[in-house]
Chain A
Amino acid sequence: MKTLVLVEHDNKTMKDATLAVVTAASQLGEVHALVIGSGCVSVGEQAAKVAGVATVHVADDPSLEHQLPENAAPLIASLMETHDAFLAPATTTGKNIAPRVAALLDVMQISDILSVESEDTFTRPIYAGNAIARVKSSDAKKVITVRGTAFEKAATEGGSGTIEAIGGASDAGLSSFVSEEIAKSERPELTSAKIIVSGGRALGSADKFEKVITPLADKLGAGIGASRAAVDAGYVPNDYQVGQTGKIVAPEVYLAIGISGAIQHLAGMKDSKIIVAINKDEDAPIFQVADIGLVADLFDAVPELTGKL
């Protein structure tokens, strides 16, 4: 099979999310990468170095700068005449574009796959990760989004893909980019962080979240996450949310602090290697999945922990 992998990037740097997709795609066949953007030549060069990538198609056009699905999907659909599968990371970009491509091709998308069993059979989580379905696709072309935490990352060096420019991009005239508010952070990105410190409703306020969680995360060089309750209460921005409807993470260590462990939160972090829970309610469901649990008031325990590291 010839696969086409959507490269996640910001027109300058290829994002890590791409690497897991390359691994998934290589289990299906020959890997072609697709970079769509504007002024994104350097991203094409980075993608060509990824181990296993045979060809990088670069569509560089002002209409593709923000990867608006209305402009990107028709281009990808036309490339699918010569490819058998389209794989995108299950990021907000991938989830936005891939289903639009699938509908243009009249195929069902397979969302958020966890494994490739064969050319047409995949596993994917359903019901907030409470069940794993093995599904077989009867569509001739496959459109797939890939859960980044479920596949090893391909090496960023060692590949020698050839770069080909793709023409034919145009503005569909349906949508336009207005603005973006991207949270600036020195911290490791949540989905690729090795350690995550995550806070919940029990923190009580944005101020206390900052005072209790941030020093611990600093000490550990960790990413910061949050439960939906903490996000809804305005303690932290939306994109910190870990869970079924937020980010899916699987770090080496996940510290859940003041998080009860609702089904929807567990869906986003229960594949972490080691889960540590600090909660004063000893019956909190989080303790059923935690490898190490401490029943204590977080306002005492967390500063003490930070001090002792």
Chain B
Amino acid sequence: MKILVPVKRVIDYNVKPRVKSDGSGVDLANVKMSMNPFDEISVEEAIRLKEAGKAEEIIAVSVGPQKAQETLRTALAMGADRAILVMTDDEVEPLAVAKILAKIVAEEAPQLVITGKQAIDDDSNQTGQMLAALLGWGQGTFANEVEIDGDSISVKREIDGGLQTVKLGLPAVVTTDLRLNEPRYASLPNIMKAKKKPMDEKTPADYDVDIAPRLTTITVAEPPVRQAGEKVEDVDALVAKLKAVGAI
């Protein structure tokens, strides 16, 4: 089968984001960008399925600016076979991304789409579910373990309180949680080889998808700052302090 893996270029997870002083957004100029951590897990899972003989081809897709091709090259260096970049400098909401992905699915006919459960920039946690809805496919969100068995897939999901296993008919959409796997690093030879792998460049217009935002961001503000606390010397002082503030 073919697997489609959407990946997103986001601010590196170690960077502390700074809100612009005019309240228009988060300052991304000269900030280190990387592949969304959940998407690395998606790519890794797709590669493992290919290594296990369950998949023949892995297509990585990204919707974003020209520079998102770096993110796609990373996916190719990890082991994806080819890439599609849907280029736009506009911010694209999950609904629009899902619509673009649905069109790509119609063209490429993958049996499985593996997305990350959320992007660490907008923290929406929507795209995979929306894509499944648009395609009329089953969805296995927050996957902790996946197993393909003929024409169905078992997905063990992380839910509040524990784990749940569901069985989905294929084709299906799976969204990855942190513990699905440990993504591999791309080796230098593979990074070199990835440069020769094919990457199609498209635009949202090629798919006839309207990406006009439905949500307008009015302002972006810093969260309220916590009052600096104090350090206590020893456990007795800690207990006294806890009692003083009514914590115990």
Contact = CB atoms under 8 A, between A and B. Distances in A.
Interface string A287-299: 1111111111000
Nearest to A91: B160
Contact of A103 (B95, B172, B178, B221): B95
A111 B123 CA distance: 8
B175 to A, nearest CB: 9
Interface string B107-137: 0000000000110111111111111111011
Interface of A: 66, 68-70, 73, 91-93, 95-104, 106-112, 121, 125-139, 173-183, 191, 195, 220, 228, 231-232, 237-239, 244-245, 247, 252-253, 263-264, 270, 274-276, 278, 282, 287-296, 301, 304-305, 308-309
B52 interface: no
A309 B248 contact: yes
Contacts of A127: 11, 17, 26, 120-121, 123
Contacts of A179: 164-165
Contact of B26 (A103, A126, A138): A126
Given A139-B214, A270-B226, A100 B169 contact: no
Contacts, number: 255
B231 A133 contact: no
B188 to A, nearest CB: 27
B191 to A, nearest CB: 27
B16 A130 contact: yes
Interface stretch (B61-69, B72-80, B139-147, B195-203): B139-147
Given A69-B129, A102-B130, 10 more contacts: A69-B141, A103-B133, A109-B126, A133-B219, A133-B220, A174-B137, A176-B166, A291-B230, A292-B238, A309-B248
B129 A111 contact: no
Contacts of B138: 70, 174-175
Given A100-B139, A103-B130, A245-B178, A108 B120 contact: no
B241 A174 contact: no
9 contacts: A103-B130, A108-B93, A111-B124, A127-B11, A178-B154, A220-B248, A245-B117, A263-B14, A292-B242
B94 interface: yes
B98 interface: yes
B125 A99 contact: yes
Contacts of A139: 214
B208 to A, nearest CB: 15
What 5 A-B pairs come out closest when comparing CB atoms? A99-B129, A103-B133, A291-B229, A174-B138, A103-B130
B187 interface: no
A294 B239 CA distance: 11
B235 A274 contact: no
A200 to B, nearest CB: 16
Contact of A133 (B159, B217, B226): B217
